[in-house]
């Protein structure tokens, strides 16, 4: 017995009980709140088989319920299809004004569709719009075939992309989400591909926030308008809603990946296998409300901000400015009053010649003593190597002045 301790056995038992409670409480509640620099943030129970709430720019999961259970995703599948369409546009493989001729296979799709006909021609722009706004299965397959030559080839690319994103619970069988054996993913994987889409191609919001629009069918019968209505009712009913994709089949029940932004905070709310349509929207909103009520984003120095100077060895100038390459942000609890701290790790000097953007060091951000991110510090101008006459002039000046 040390330092007047009266009952060490009782103290050890209490400590052990506390540890057990800390482990068991998240398990018993089912949906856990991540302690992301926040104290006493409550948990939440969702009326769906699986759910995930994620902040996309940090990738932090704030809530999860059966996040890795493999389930059919219905038309939420199309998030991956849309992602690959934007990648093909970025790579120059296709263009928005390209004309797609609809195949018999694409025209045969059931479920949500815009009733494309075999040999009908549509632009990539209008087909993409009908996929994002109206969840058109026929348009999804037409674009998949246009990009990869066949839907099977496109699906192979979908699975390859899923693997590269760390979507370990996912196997795609088609490009649109119609029921198929083995076509499965998880709430966590949907959050991952949603994150990739909205952070890499935020222009998708131009389409996801359309409430009503139209396309023109051009067939042998002439031209005919077809109305498009957004399947995501949160666009109209939830403050800050930006997207993203709904889905429902008899097998998958009601699914949703909902995105929203308020101030600097973006969130992805994924709900899988909700019992009905109203429940999926209601539960997605509850999760978003939870995130906006309890968390905030704290940002580091802006990209391009000059942070100091670094010496240049054998350069036409003796020193040059360096600036922040990428703005770093972290997620913290709203009740937290601590600010993010930073310190510079700068090289002693750089050697010429060196182009603008050469690494001069790093800026490291910490919160509550823990590192939360770092960015390169880069030079802001091209620097040539000093010429021999200029070097002699410098030496002369140094000797005599």
Q: Which residues pair with 378 in a beta bridge?
A: 323, 359
Q: Which of 75, 130, 342, 358 is catalytic?
A: 75
Task: Specify the 3-state DSSP secondary structure of 26.
Answer: helix
C-alpha span between 273 and 382 (Å, rounded)? 55
Find all residues with CB under 8 Å of 3, minimum gap 6, and list them. Answer: none
33 φ/ψ sector (left φ>0, alpha ψ -120 to 50, else beta): beta
Residue 248 has what DSSP assignment?
E
Q: Which of 103, 112, 135, 342 is catalytic?
A: 135
**Strand pairing class (349-351; 306-313):** parallel
C-alpha span between 34 and 354 (Å, rounded)? 44
Instruction: Please name which of 362, 322, 270 lies closest in space to residue 31, comparing C-alpha atoms.
Output: 270
Helix axes 78-90, 151-164, angle to 10 degrees: 90
Element spanning 309, H or E: strand 306-313
Say whether 78 is catalytic: yes
8 A C-beta contact, residue 254 and residue 236: no
Instruction: Please name which of 38, 4, 7, 122 lies closest in space to residue 331, comparing C-alpha atoms.
Output: 38
Q: Which of 78, 161, 245, 296 is catalytic?
A: 78
Task: Specify the 3-state DSSP secondary structure of 332.
Answer: strand
Just list the catalytic residues: 75, 78, 135
């Amino acid at each position: 017995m040390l330092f007047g301790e009266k009952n060490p056995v009782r103290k050890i038992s209490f400590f052990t009980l506390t540890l057990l409670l800390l482990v068991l409480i998240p398990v018993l509640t089912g949906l856990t709140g991540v302690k992301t620099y926040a104290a006493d943030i409550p948990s939440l129970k969702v009326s769906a088989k699986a759910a995930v709430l994620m902040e996309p720019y940090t990738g932090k999961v704030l809530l999860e319920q059966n996040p890795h259970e493999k389930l059919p995703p219905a038309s939420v599948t199309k998030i991956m299809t849309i992602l690959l369409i934007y990648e093909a546009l970025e790579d120059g493989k296709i263009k928005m004004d390209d004309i797609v001729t609809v195949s018999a296979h694409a025209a045969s799709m059931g479920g949500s569709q815009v009733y494309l006909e075999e040999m009908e021609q549509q632009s990539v722009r209008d087909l993409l719009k009908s996929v994002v706004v109206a969840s058109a299965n026929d348009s999804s397959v037409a674009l998949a075939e246009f990009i990869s030559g066949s839907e099977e080839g496109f699906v192979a690319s979908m699975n390859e992309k899923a693997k590269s994103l760390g979507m370990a619970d996912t196997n795609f069988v088609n490009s649109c989400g119609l029921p198929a054996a083995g076509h499965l993913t998880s709430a966590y994987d949907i959050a991952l591909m949603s994150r990739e889409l909205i952070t890499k191609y935020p222009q998708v919001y131009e389409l996801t926030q359309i409430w009503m629009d139209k396309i023109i069918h051009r067939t042998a019968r002439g031209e005919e308008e077809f109305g498009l209505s957004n399947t995501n009712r949160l666009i109209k009913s939830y403050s800050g809603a930006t997207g993203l994709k709904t889905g429902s089949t008899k097998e998958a029940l009601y699914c949703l990946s909902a995105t929203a932004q308020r101030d600097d905070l973006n969130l992805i709310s994924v709900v899988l296998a909700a019992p009905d349509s109203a429940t999926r929207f209601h539960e997605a909103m509850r999760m978003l409300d939870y995130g906006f009520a309890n968390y905030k984003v704290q940002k580091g120095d802006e990209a391009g901000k000059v942070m100091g100077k670094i010496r240049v060895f054998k350069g036409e100038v003796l020193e040059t400015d360096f600036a922040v390459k990428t703005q770093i942000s972290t997620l913290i609890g709203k009740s937290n009053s601590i600010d993010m701290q930073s310190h510079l790790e700068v090289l002693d000097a750089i050697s010429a010649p060196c182009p603008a953007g050469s690494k001069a060091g790093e800026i490291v951000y910490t919160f509550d003593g823990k590192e939360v991110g770092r960015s390169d510090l880069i030079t802001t101008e091209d620097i040539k190597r000093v010429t021999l006459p200029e070097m002699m002039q410098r030496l002369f000046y140094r000797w005599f002045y």
